[in-house]
Amino acid sequence: MPRIAVLTSGGDAPGMNAALRTIAKVAAIHGVEVIGFEDGYDGLIDGRTRALTRKADGGLTTTAEVGLAGNLGGTFLGSSRCARFVTPEGRAAAAARLDGFTGLIVIGGNGSLTGAHKLAQETGVKVMGVPASIDNDVGCTSTAIGVDTALNVITEACDRISDTARSHRRAFIIEVMGRHSGYLAMASAVAVGADGILFREQGRSEAELVTTVANLLRRGFAQKGDKRRVLVIKAEGVEIPCTRLVRLVQDELAAELPGVEV
């Protein structure tokens, strides 16, 4: 009976369990056994496995665990960032664990898929990658697993924050994930109607960031009564911490907008 291996690696993303369930269900229909490796590449190197399919009525079906986990966030196989897999020796040890498997499916982000690519190049193991990164920073893909969920969570949070902002005439700076990609910041800002977006790709200095946000608040609150809230979305890749940015902006605007809280 043919069998394939699957693992989840790197940061967890909502939808990983759904992907595992789909892989197991489709494979079972085609008579392919699926074995999951626990805790990403660490589990692959150590040989820690968990069956995702089982024999039933002369064929295969998914295990009960797979069926129950499909609607849960995170990954029931577990995930990790494996330092050992970065080395050629670690990848060779991982390849040895795949003896007898038709191939390996890796569900993960940029680093995980880079490792999967090297594994295939160096050892000849057949590898398929499934992009899973809420930052949506995997090259040559449109949308990765977890991105839509992240956008919905950000949108809901910003909608709730905006209610308070309008009630008290406040400005809020919301930091969202995205170390090297400003996609989440840009897409969520459009979705919630934010007044400003700060992301790493702009390459602004700390002084420029403070001036930009301060000017945004000046314009937003210049006409009393018309504007009740200012919302700025900041990607985590912008290195100035939110607390410092807020403090510097408030210091600059203390005399001009004494009644506005950031």
Instruction: List beta partners, residue 53.
Output: 62
> What gap in Å lies between CA 133 and CA 145, rounded to an integer?
6
Note if 42 is an active site residue.
Answer: no
| Token output for 248 | 């510097």
Q: How many CA atoms lie within 13 A of 90 on its CB side?
A: 15
Residue 242: how many other CB atoms lie within 10 Å:
16
Contact 54, 61 (CB under 8 A): yes
| Token output for 122 | 């160096």
Identify the CA nearest to 91 among candidates 107, 115, 113. Answer: 115
> What gap in Å lies between CA 37 and CA 23, rounded to an integer?
14
Which residue of the set 135, 148, 159, 226 is catalytic?
A: 135
- The residues annotated as belonging to the active site are 135
